[in-house]
Structure 1
């Protein structure tokens, strides 16, 4: 029985799980969950993940949430190539270091830009104050600098010469503000070169397929009915006020 992947490719963690499963030819069934249409509040998905968050997987009777836990489960179950989560103690520690840093280090800042530029005008009918926009961009720039100077340094990839889980988790986060209209690669040759290496290792067709939805988010959001997005409005209010 294939692994069931409950994903919305607008979500950064969902994209990392999808890329990993596809790249490693892991037998799976893609179960689309639309966050914009609030599918995650449906009764059936609640049985898979009572926390109502994606990504989530179902492997027979076993259900699991949280992207990092899911990625490691797939590494162990399907015995993927060592470079994804190296056996070498120090290389693995580099992967773990990034995975531990990224939820507060980059995800919240990249997500905030996406919300400010795409979601807020749709849901609230007005923009975010300029001082909040500037603060969010400053935070994002600080995180991108940290990826370049701390996590990449002069290495091709975060853990060394080969791609790892850390690079997958990083690239999807870096692309979230791009979907919000901010070109994070402009003026950052090191970050751009790393992106190109990750894209090549993943495979350009798969990489572009996975990011197509987030890069088209501005057009997609125009067709949404904001009156039906009560949960998204609550999320926005909790994020900014």
Structure 2
């Protein structure tokens, strides 16, 4: 990489995919600058940001004029473009295919199901001023439980990480989603020791960047506990 060159990333760490990008950048030591886009303040709807990403979503990456959206694409681009340790997105075809297999599955399983629990338990009551819709939450938790069963039986099996013996971008995407309900005081892995051990391995593998990325989630959790 050329001296003095930085990747610019537009993030809000309340967003699960943004946290995954943030962690990879920190772990891989890719020189970067973070531009905070506060979703709660509507900064993703400003004319300036809409010009950058007409979909009005984060994360967004700008690398030497090349603009890229979608966390999955950004993570894989960074792994391909920069001197990132190969385990994040392996070059060997079968190992890479396992990562692609999970990330394809992720967007219709782990991501929507964990996010819906957080939405129903935290965001919807704040936006509407109404109590939690317990029926909808119960259904969302059931859907998430099915996803967690599959994470254990299909992806983890007897291996330490979702796609093999080493941490990959798949683990970052998954763990950031499954940490999100903690913002409402709910640890969705509480009764799942296999997944708890996986989360601990991910946290150990990425070090301080895990807690740095999830500070906003911990703050929400502490506020929710204070209300009880």
The answer to whether the 8 A contact 1:118-1:218 is kept is: no
Q: 1:211 aligns with which of 198, 211, 214?
A: 214
Matched residue pairs, number?
Answer: 220
The answer to whether the 8 A contact 1:14-1:54 is kept is: yes
Q: 1:72 aligns with which of 72, 76, 80?
A: 76
TM-score, length-scaled by structure 1 = 0.87
State the alpha-carbon separation in 1 of the partners of residues 77 and 68 from structure 2.
Answer: 9
State the alpha-carbon separation in 2 of the partners of residues 113 and 78 from structure 1.
Answer: 35
**CA root-mean-square deviation:** 1.5
TM-score, length-scaled by structure 2 = 0.92
Q: Could you say which residue in structure 1 is the equivalent of 2:172? A: 168
1:183-207 CA-partner distances (Å, limit 9, x unpaired): 112121100110111011101x211
1:111-170 CA-partner distances (Å, limit 9, x unpaired): 111111111111101024322111011111111111111111110011211111111111
Unpaired runs of at least 5, structure 1: 222-241
State the alpha-carbon separation in 2 of the partners of residues 109 and 59 from structure 1.
Answer: 32
**Structure 1 residue 93 and structure 2 residue 97: aligned?**
yes
State the alpha-carbon separation in 2 of the partners of residues 219 and 38 from structure 1.
Answer: 24
1:61-119 CA-partner distances (Å, limit 9, x unpaired): 22110001111111111031111111222211111111000111111111111111111
